[in-house]
Amino acid sequence: MERIKVDVCVIGAGAGGLSVAAGAVQMGASVVLLEGHKMGGDCLNFGCVPSKALLHAGRAGMEWQAAHEHVRATIATIEPHDSQERFEGLGVRVIREFGQFISPTEVQAGDHVIQARRFVISTGSRPFVPPIPGLEGVPYETNETIFDLEDAPKHLLIIGGGPIGLEMAEAHRALGCEVTVIEGLKALGKDDPELAGVVLDSLRGQGVAIEEGAMAKEVRGQAGAIEVEAQDGRIFKGSHLLVAVGRQANTDKLNIEAAGIEPTRTGLKVDASLRTTNRKVYAIGDVAGGLQFTHVAGYHAGIIIRSMLFGLPSKAKTHHIPWATYTSPELAQVGLTEAEARKAHGARLEVVRFDFSGNDRAIATGQTQGTVKAMVVKGKPVGVSIVGPGAGELINFWAMVIANGLKMSHVAAMVAPYPTMGEINKRVAGAYFTPRLFDNPKVKRIVGLVQRLIP
């Protein structure tokens, strides 16, 4: 048994863990990185990267085999950046074993015992498989297996109408499959319902069947002939089944009891600094029990590096975290939705809208179906929802605005090149100030007075 003493031990080589390991070692800390599965974690191998590659392939008109070769090639191109070799080149000791705590200050990984000043748990999450009667006896896919199908499903049933389910629905429909999405409540239920409705209408127009209020009661059948029965008696038949109802934090292999770490229903209990109930141990990304996005794990990494390496106070926040669903059209959000903003701010809230149809570049390129909705309180945006082509790119601007506490006047001061889709964001500020300037009798009186007084 080899005993190792280091400054930082990172458990899990997904997006967050890799960011911590790279940052810490390059700033002079000694680092051990533990990974018992694939370097790069879920995002590279089973999530963000392959799903976006498959969506692109479907939209580009590729055949099934070519589309999946594109997915594999995309992963292979990005892999070296997340590889063991790269991190060892940076000076990280990489051990390809799962880690488990054997005391509050020690982790065992295979034949190694690591004692560290600080530990970082970044073990991510896996697909949650609900206890639907009959599911255990029927072949089904998750996001960890769906990209390995050798042949196109004739009819893909998808349980779950969230971002993963709908992105996979569009991709497989574009690749020639029949697709039915089975959602127990409302599809895209965490997003603005008005703008989510635009996405759902578009998907239905592409031929995707979306069945809402269809809580799965039972699954039965066999490979090639699967049935899902809803609680209201509806029965959906298909050849393949994808389960996409959410994520479950990976904590079961950690032996957290030995470290004095308290679990929660969604992961591990952390404070605002992302420390667990063992102050030597941090938890970041999905396992921290909050928003489950790759970019959140990266953000968390920056928070704890500031704390671990420099001893500076640093707290994680969520009000400025954006997210996007990469359907056609895309749907993006940062901050509060309209419903959340009305509940929080009441009559002080102003909702400002601008449609893509008012943007010259959108008109020139035939991309006019879209809307930006900004929730503004006392001149400051507290949330922005976007549906339309490139919404995932346009939301970046508003994420910066909200993260830095900027006002609509700062947005209005921006000069955007003409003609660009990005000019849409400036036009939102114009929509906010228009009634204040052009429909304001006081402004007109002042202008009239100035014209009379100045020769």
Is 80 exceeded by the pLDDT of residue 437?
no
Instruction: For residue 443, name the pLDDT band (cuts at 50, 70, 90).
Output: low
382-290-128 Cα angle (round to 5): 130
Domains of the chain with CATH codes = 2-39+83-127+248-310 (3.50.50.60), 135-245 (3.50.50.60), 322-438 (3.30.390.30)
pTM of this prediction? 0.94
Burial 197-210 (b: 16+ CB within 10 A, else e): ebbbebbeeeebbb
Phi first, then psi, for residue 6 (nearest 5°) are: -140, 170
Q: What is the pLDDT of residue 442?
A: 77
Name the residue type at position 55.
L
Write out pLDDT tens, residues 93-122: 999 999 999 999 999 999 999 999 999 999
Exposed (0-12), middle (13-18) or buried (19+): which is 183, by Cβ within 10 Å?
A: buried
Helix (H) or strand (E) holding 76: helix 64-78
In sequence order, what are the beta bridge partners of 32? 9, 93
Name the residue type at position 359.
N
DSSP summary character for residue 305: H
Q: What is the pLDDT of residue 436?
A: 79
- How does DSSP assign 135-181, residue by residue? GGGS--B-TTTGGG-SS--SEEEEE--SHHHHHHHHHHHHTT-EEEE
